[in-house]
Chains A and B, each alone.
Chain A
């Protein structure tokens, strides 16, 4: 059994403990909203997805076995939910990612603001050009700091496959950033 404080809490959730669920929610809501945001590029949609993901986690708490980390289980549920939602008619990933991203409020320095906004656009364009699994692996690695082994478990893939997915995704981001540096607009999603 993995020593994981979240796993112990989640086992309480499986017995109907709502306060344990609230604690887990407070710990992980930012990760899930960020993951969903990077997946769909819209804050409002990301919050809708996050809401559904947490409710799914609660409903499926009894199916959790503590031989896997809670975080891995959570991202597995999150990835499947995002993939399924984006495959539904009129919610296709490319459609969502082809829209401009909701950028953050500008920092005080104007030059920094420009860099941040343009970098955000470049990353958004790169994410839109990735396959669904590349995007999921890249987001879990870059924004959530999950190790390759956990990403492999969340995606039901081998570590070698995850290494390849993350490398390809990283090259796409680099390509968009290079276009940005060269003064060209980031390419729109081609996937």
Chain B
């Protein structure tokens, strides 16, 4: 194994990730190769300093934001879980039945024969017509008699 191959194992060796046999081979090389040994020392010192760098502290706002978003998601998931297939099928069935009823009703309602104007007039004025019937009048001609009744009564 040449120096480049040995040097390529240095990081894994420092991290304790090198298999035992390869680690022993590297240790032997470090004893006799001062340049490789210097590289190993530099690497260890650098990694120690890098790992000691301070890291940012998470803010309280992060906790609030994450837990709030998770609560929203959870509520949505619970709602979605409620509408499972066994619950959804009857609901969809009812909705479909209602839709069919509307579709069937609409042409029937449109095709229904309309009322003639005379019948409509009677319906709109049914109360007045009933009153006329009570006082014994049978039509509009009788109304003229009522209008001129005082003249007839005043005649000696």
Contacts and interface: CB of A to CB of B under 8 A. Distances in A.
Q: Do chains A and B stick together as partners?
A: yes
Interface of A: 16, 18, 21-22, 25-26, 29-30, 33-34, 37, 43, 46-47, 50-51, 54-55, 58-59, 102, 104, 116, 119-120, 123, 141-143, 147-148, 163-164, 166-167, 170, 173-174, 177
A174 B46 contact: yes
B100 interface: no
Task: Place the interface of chain B in its size category.
Answer: 20 to 34
Given A30-B57, A33-B56, A51-B62, A142 B51 contact: yes
B53 A119 contact: yes
Contact of B46 (A43, A167, A173): A173
Q: Chain A CB within 10 Å — which of B42, B49, B50 has the most? A: B50
A33 B8 contact: no
Nearest to A122: B50
Contacts, number: 99
A25 B63 contact: yes
B50 A55 contact: no
Q: Chain B CB within 10 Å — which of A43, A46, A116, A174 has the most? A: A174
B143 interface: no
Contacts of A177: 46, 49-50
Contact of A148 (B12, B51, B66): B12
Given A21-B70, A119-B49, A163-B17, A37 B78 contact: no
B70 A37 contact: no
Contacts of A120: 53
Interface string B35-47: 0000000110011
A29 B69 contact: no
A166 B12 contact: yes
B40 to A, nearest CB: 11
A123 B47 CA distance: 10
Contacts of B125: none
A164 B17 CA distance: 12
Contact of A173 (B50, B62, B69): B50
A58 B70 CA distance: 7
11 contacts: A16-B74, A16-B77, A33-B57, A33-B62, A51-B62, A51-B65, A51-B66, A119-B49, A120-B53, A123-B53, A142-B51
A61 to B, nearest CB: 10
Contacts of A21: 67, 70
A166 B15 CA distance: 10
Nearest to B12: A163
Q: Chain A CB within 10 Å — which of B17, B43, B46, B47 has the most? A: B46
